[in-house]
Structure formats: structure tokens, C-alpha cells
Amino acid sequence: MTTMLLDTTKGIVEFTYKGIGPTVLLLKGGHSTRDTDLSHSSLIYEGFSLLTVSRPGYDYTEVSTGKTPEDFADTIVEILDHLEIELVSVIAISAAGPTALALATRHPDRVSKIVMEAAMTAPWEENMKQRAKLLFGPAERMVWGSLRKMLKLFPDLVMKQLLSEMTTENAEEYLESLSPNDRRFVYDMLATSQSGKGFSLDLDHSVSDISHVQAPILGMYSQKDKSVQYTNALLLKSLAPHCEIYEVNADSHLIWIGKGAREVWDKRLEFLHQ
């Protein structure tokens, strides 16, 4: 996909836009870059246009475009206006959850439905925030550079270590249970990760009042997700008036691989086609 840059009123935003059909706005999660694909690019073969917008601090999107989910929601509308897109379905992954909900709250006429995929709705725990700011703050470039070098030399060791933060199961047993394709998925995800200045912003994001959101919401979560715990699903269900929670049969935060991956894909498509 060709990367495009738009000079909005608040700064530069990077995005890609490809496909023919109803537009799906994809907001990737923490540490994800333009090169990180968790299978969503295949939506263009299912009759959708895919608009992928890099959130503030990621890729070439400037921090000034929105330090809060609410501010960036307004910037997203500038992009939609520029592309002459009236209405979008939104897919929010992990740390992008608050941004999707802010968009639906502030601009309800632009959002038809929302898919929350292992997406944050609750504030980050304080101890996790402090640890993440230490690792992925000013030193994040060095941290990811070292991880990528280690990933090439000792892939299983690095993948096991990172998966231990994503699953409530034994990380080594979980890694061994993955198919070759799923292992490649994890490897590629880590190889394309970079926090930039974005993840530090993510840590301070929170969800405002969503009790008036009229767009239907599908939340897909796993009980075995260690990084975005299932309490996020319960909170979303309690706050949003039109919300369905689908419990994914997955052994980690990575609901796009493993035994429940096909059901996740089918459930998403069914919801988007409604």
C-alpha cells in the first residue's frame, strides 16, 4: 500500500487507503507500525476499502495531532473530510480502543459500527505504566533495536519472553503449540514493532463517557489475555448501550492466531456486513 501524508491543522498524519467498497478505518495498537499486519489487510479482498491511520507518535504521525484520544478523533475527521468519506466502520486494536470510542462519542454521524479487538477500555495499572515508560520511553529505540537483533539470533527465546507478557498460560508451552504460520505471525509482529513516541502517549489514555454511543459495538476478547485483561470486556459491556462481547477461544492477547482465529475472522466479517 502507498503511504500518504496529510498536513492537518494540527500536524502531519500518515495513512494508507486502498480497496473498493465500504470504508473500514483501522487503528492499530501499541508498538504497531505501518509494516505491522495482524491479518486486517485481507479485508480489501472481502469487498471493503481499508483506511489505516497511524496514531500520534507512530510512524510519521506527529504527536501534535492528538495527545488525547478526543483530540486525535477530531484529526481523524479531517482525514475523512479530505478523502470525502462520510461514514466508516472502525476496528480498534489493543491500545487504540480509547481513540475509537472517542471518535464515536465526538462524531457519531461518522461512525457506523465499532469492532474492539482485545482493545483497552480500562485505565492502565500504575505498576504496568511505570514499567512501560521505563522500557518504551526515551530508550525505546535502543530496546527495540536490541530485541530485533536478539530475535534473529534466538527467535524462540525472544518470542517466549514477549509472549509471557501476553498470555496467562505457560509461555513456553504456548509457543510450542503454535503452528509454523502462527509462529511466523508472532515473529513478523515483533520484527515490525516500534514504540516511537506513541506508546508513552497510549499509557495515559482513558475512555470518557460512552453511555450515549449509538453505534453498535462488537468486543472480541480472550479470558487468557494477560496484557488486556478480560475485565476490559466486562467494562465495555457495562458502559456501552449497544455492545456484544464475543469471547474468543484464544490462549493469549493475540486473538488473530491459534484455534479461534477463523472464528474471529468470520465474526468480524459478519458484524461488518450487517
Domain with CATH 3.40.50.1820 in the chain: 4-123+206-273
Report the pLDDT averaged over residues 115-138. 89
pLDDT-derived band at 185 (thresholds 50, 70, 90) equals very high
Position 148, amino acid: R
* Residue 104 scores a pLDDT above 70: yes
d(CA 59, CA 248) in angstroms, rounded, equals: 30
In this predicted model, what pLDDT tens digit does every residue of 129-138 receive, in sequence order?
888 888 888 8
Residue 59 Cα distances to 13, 19, 163, 206, angstroms = 9, 22, 24, 22
What is the grid cell recorded at 253?
492477547
User: What is the pLDDT averaged over residues 17-38?
Assistant: 97
**In this structure, which amino acid lies at residue 193?**
S
Nearest residue to 199 via CA among 45, 40, 84, 36: 36
Residue 86 in contact with residue 231, Cβ under 8 Å?
no
CATH architecture of 4-123+206-273: 3-Layer(aba) Sandwich (3.40)
Q: Using alpha carbons, list the distances in angstroms from residue 239 to 116, 154, 235, 244.
A: 14, 43, 6, 12
**Statement: residue 182 has pLDDT above 70:** yes
pLDDT in tens, 139-176: 899 999 999 999 999 999 999 999 999 999 999 999 99
Is 200 in contact with 227 (CB distance < 8 Å)? no
User: If you average pLDDT over residues 213-229, what whole number do you get?
Assistant: 97
